Amino acid sequence: MCRWLAYSGSPILLEELLYKPEHSLIDQSRHARMGVETTNGDGFGVGWYDADIDAPAVYHSIEPAWNDRNLREVASHVESPLFLAHIRASTGTAVQQTNCHPFRHENWLWVHNGLVRDFHLIKRDLALAVDESLFPYMEGSADSEMLFYLALTFGLEEDPPTAVERMVGFVEEVGHRRGTEDPIQMTLGMTDGKSIWAFRYSSERDSRSLFYSTDVRTVRKLHPERERLQEVSDESRFIVSEPLGDLTGAWNEVPESSYGVIQEGEDELRPFQPIYSGNGAQG
């Protein structure tokens, strides 16, 4: 089980969300409250966009996040208007940088909390379905990376919700054929550097927690003592696996089987429905 967060808004130091909140993401790495596991010590990652550089940077650590001095340094000196961060509790695959989230492909970043059940049984079927041109870019062994490359194969860059619905449908088809009852459990976050999409779904309809904060103005009023919050822009948005402790009162749960989009213009929240092809695992 993992934890992640996404931020979009006026540029802030990474540490404002990673370290400073009372129940910050780094704190959650040792003491998660809502998870299956209380310890998320199997790697950390953050990916961020700069104001003036197109490609996002990623920082992947295999140390427990709470011990990573470089992370603390980077987080206290790097400002970003859009970033994803992730703490990992491995469900079996190796603890190595290439298994750390966010996964990156060109200008896209991807984080996942959850798992593909019986992954070893269907790993090959899934791998064969990845587009030939994308196959060599998979570097790690995590189910989460495989989901990303499947989504890219199914058109993530053109239409993220449809691509994810097709990806999930495909994974469920393959899993069911191999005899796995509930093949997928997930919350997903992804971005192209402009919008953020967040999904909450599981085959058993009992998905990991996910929350969003729509209105910074409300949060600010609740927390007048948090200086930097007073300065972030009104459009700033947060999505988190677990509410940051000292910002309670400002969180809304993403409903079961739905997804949201944070974007220029109106944000959206919609139902999520896997798309089944009927021939997914031909590969």
Return residues touching a copy of itself (CB under 8 A): 30, 38-39, 41-42, 48, 50, 53, 57-64, 66-67, 69-70, 73-74, 76-78, 90, 93-98, 119-121, 123-124, 127-128, 132, 135-136, 138-141
Q: Identify the bridge partners of residue 61 per DSSP, sorted by sequence position.
A: 44
Cβ at position 203, least distance to a copy of itself in Å: 20
Mapped onto helix, strand or coil, the DSSP state of residue 203 is coil
For a copy of itself, give the closer residue by CB, 4 or 44: 44
Cβ at position 200, least distance to a copy of itself in Å: 27
For a copy of itself, give the closer residue by CB, 193 or 260: 193
Max CA pair span of the chain: 57
Cβ at position 59, least distance to a copy of itself in Å: 5
For a copy of itself, give the closer residue by CB, 121 or 275: 121
Q: What angle do CA 85, 234, 252 make, to 5 degrees?
A: 60
* H helical segments located in the chain: 15-18, 25-31, 69-75, 119-129, 143-153, 160-177, 216-222, 227-231
For a copy of itself, give the closer residue by CB, 84 or 254: 84
Q: Identify the bridge partners of residue 103 per DSSP, sorted by sequence position.
A: 110
Residue among 159, 134, 158 nearest 148 (CA):
134
Cβ at position 15, least distance to a copy of itself in Å: 11
Q: What angle do CA 24, 271, 178 make, to 5 degrees?
A: 90
For a copy of itself, give the closer residue by CB, 39 or 209: 39
Cβ at position 74, least distance to a copy of itself in Å: 6
